[in-house]
């Protein structure tokens, strides 16, 4: 990987054929990258220093997840939240997980499933749902889950595809979007009360072929967003104006992450979903991880999910 400049291109970091790679995170304690291939219902991990990998098959599609303080993993499966315990936590290769159910999500609405999610700075889990029906009506919602308060719906507008969930460094601002509107929004956020206020735009994507997907906040308070369909990751200043763009050599990047042992790597998951046979022939590495070394440390670790009362 080469030092980053404006319009630099990410290069192949880990070859994979994920149908829908998402939710990428750096786990500093384990020195590894973790992500989900939603459509294959698999949690993946990769240790770049050794090349070891872990693949944990789950009984349902995994939309999002968070590492917990106990060492377990909070899993946002299609219609429910569970705590997962890897049966062999130090194993590499194929693994399994024992599941402890926590909460059903949108049980009476068959069209939705859990999609994007991330812990807030307090260690509560915030996630959204999407409408899987072809008509894509905005029937998805945003929720917060904690062991202390259970499942609480956030008073945010209904969406077709919930995405871009991340939090300012002080935890008082939440960013999110409905991908189909091409606008990333922000609001005041109170973690303990699960209250939101002052909903307002953060930035709008002007390219008609670019759809905002996953986002993450860096050490300078800037937001990085993967833009599905446009093969790029953009970095936005705290006031929403574009600072840099980074090319991804496949069409559908899905979720950026910052991490690595020096906190100076930009990585992104990608997807093969929605690509024709001809496009896959032109972009055979679709579904892989791509990365780039930045000019300085910018990573901010996600808070571990607070499962102390479990």
Burial (CB < 10 A; 0-12, 13-18, 19+), residue 11, is middle
Query: Distance from CA of residue 124 to its chain's centroid?
Result: 15
Residue 89 confidence (pLDDT):
60
CB 36 within 8 A of CB 21: yes
Q: Could you give the domains of the chain?
A: 11-293 (2.120.10.30)
What span, in angstroms and rounded, lies between the C-alpha atoms of 176 and 188? 12
Can you give the pLDDT of all 310 residues of the chain as single tens digits?
A: 444 445 799 999 999 999 999 999 999 999 999 999 999 999 999 999 999 999 999 999 999 999 999 999 999 999 999 999 997 766 678 889 999 999 999 999 999 999 999 999 999 999 999 999 999 999 999 999 999 999 999 999 999 999 999 999 999 999 999 999 999 999 999 999 999 999 999 999 999 999 999 999 999 999 999 999 999 999 999 999 999 999 999 999 999 999 999 999 999 999 999 999 999 999 999 999 999 999 999 999 999 999 987 5
Output the CA angle 111-204-34, nearest 5 degrees. 60
Number of H helices, E strands in the chain: 1, 25
Residues in the chain: 310
Residue 90 confidence (pLDDT):
64
- What residue has token string 């030092």? 3
pTM for the full predicted model: 0.96
């Amino acid at each position: 990987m080469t030092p980053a400049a404006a319009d630099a291109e990410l290069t192949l970091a880990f070859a994979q054929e994920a149908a829908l790679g998402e939710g990428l995170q750096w786990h500093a304690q384990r020195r590894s990258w973790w992500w989900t291939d939603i459509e294959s219902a698999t949690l993946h991990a990769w240790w770049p220093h050794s090349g070891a990998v872990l693949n944990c098959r789950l009984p349902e599609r995994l939309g999002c997840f968070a590492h917990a303080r106990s060492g377990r993993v909070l899993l946002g499966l299609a219609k429910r939240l569970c705590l997962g315990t890897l049966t062999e936590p130090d194993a590499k290769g194929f693994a399994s997980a024992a599941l402890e159910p926590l909460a059903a999500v949108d049980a009476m609405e068959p069209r939705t499933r859990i999609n994007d999610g991330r812990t807030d700075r307090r260690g509560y889990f915030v996630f959204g749902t999407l409408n899987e029906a072809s008509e894509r009506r905005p029937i998805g919602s945003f929720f917060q889950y904690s062991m202390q308060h259970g499942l609480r719906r956030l008073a945010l507008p209904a969406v077709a595809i919930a995405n871009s969930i991340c939090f300012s460094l002080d935890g008082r601002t939440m960013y999110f979007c409905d991908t189909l509107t091409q606008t990333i929004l922000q609001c005041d956020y109170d973690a303990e009360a699960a209250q939101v206020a002052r909903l307002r735009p953060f930035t709008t994507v002007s390219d008609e072929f670019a759809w905002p997907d996953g986002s993450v906040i860096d050490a300078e308070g800037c937001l990085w967003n993967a833009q599905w369909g446009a093969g790029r990751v953009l970095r936005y200043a705290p006031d929403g104006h574009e600072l840099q763009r980074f090319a991804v050599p496949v069409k559908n990047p899905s979720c950026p992450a910052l991490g690595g042992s020096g906190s100076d790597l930009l990585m992104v998951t990608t997807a093969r979903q929605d690509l024709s046979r001809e496009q896959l022939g032109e972009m055979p590495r679709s579904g892989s991880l791509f990365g780039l070394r930045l000019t300085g440390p910018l990573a901010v670790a996600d808070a571990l999910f607070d499962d102390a009362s479990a």
